[in-house]
């Protein structure tokens, strides 16, 4: 089991960030440069809304590039060979019984950069993810919520 680290990421998540960064640096920058060139052709830049919008888009793109580069510098990739199905960890999928809702759910445990709660990919730093981390099949994870303590019994753990 890898130690808890706020910058844990799976190999799949790392690849997705690298792909996004490459896209932004190549295609994204080229598209923005084209928008700026077209906007400049409209004349007076002091009253050119298209130029201002293109420059704002450029600033957002460069900001995202900086964020992704920082993420890559600090990311700790969870090695596939260290992921086991005996304990919940980043890179595992856990099936739980939610005692408060009386239903089963399945979650992929991922690093914060990969979290996508709408698709049941939860961060190891989230309240539920943190409660599940390190637990074994059959154990109960308690999560503090506004309505009280929620209990999740671990039914199975598998490698993602």
Secondary structure of the chain in the HEC alphabet?
CCCCCCCEECHHHHHHHHHHHHHHHHHHHHHHHHHHHHHHCCCCHHHCHHHHHHHHHHHHHHHHHHHHHHHHHHCEECCHHHCCCCCCCCCEEEEEEECCCCEEEEEEEECHHHCEHHHCEEECCCHHHHHHCCCCCCCEEEEEECCEEEEEEEEEEEEC
Q: What is the dihedral of CA 41, 45, 47, 52, to 10 degrees?
A: 90
Give the largest CA-CA distance in the chain. Answer: 69
Residue 76 pLDDT: 87
- 30, two tokens: 């080229």
Residue 99 pLDDT: 92
φ and ψ of 154, to 5 deg = -80, 120
Residue 12 pLDDT: 86
| pLDDT tens series, the chain, 160 aa | 444 446 888 888 899 999 999 999 999 999 999 999 998 888 777 778 888 899 999 999 999 999 999 989 988 888 777 778 899 999 999 999 999 889 999 999 998 888 999 999 999 999 999 999 999 999 999 999 888 999 999 999 998 7
Closest CA to 152 of 89, 92, 95: 95
Residue 18 pLDDT: 95
Residue 6 pLDDT: 63
Please state, as a whole number, how many other Cβ atoms lie within 10 Å of the Cβ of residue 103. Answer: 9
Structural domains of the chain, with CATH? 8-77 (1.10.287.180), 81-159 (3.10.50.30)
Please state, as a whole number, how many other Cβ atoms lie within 10 Å of the Cβ of residue 57. Answer: 15
Q: What is the dihedral of CA 131, 132, 133, 134, to 10 degrees?
A: 110
d(CA 132, CA 97): 12
């Amino acid at each position: 089991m890898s130690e808890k680290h706020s910058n844990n990421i799976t190999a799949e998540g790392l690849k997705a960030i690298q792909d996004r960064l490459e896209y932004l640096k190549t295609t994204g920058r080229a598209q923005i440069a084209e928008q700026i060139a077209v906007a400049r052709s409209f004349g007076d830049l002091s009253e050119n809304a298209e130029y201002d919008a293109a420059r704002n888009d450029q600033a957002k793109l460069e900001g995202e590039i900086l964020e992704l580069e920082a993420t890559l510098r600090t990311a700790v990739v969870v090695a596939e060979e260290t992921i086991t199905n005996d304990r919940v960890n980043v890179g595992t999928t856990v099936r739980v019984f939610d005692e408060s809702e009386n239903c089963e759910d399945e979650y992929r445990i991922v690093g914060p950069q990969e979290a996508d709660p709408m698709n049941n990919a939860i961060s190891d730093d989230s309240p539920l993810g943190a409660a599940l981390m390190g637990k074994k099949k059959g154990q109960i994870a308690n999560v503090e919520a506004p309505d009280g303590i929620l209990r999740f019994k671990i039914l199975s753990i598998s490698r993602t």
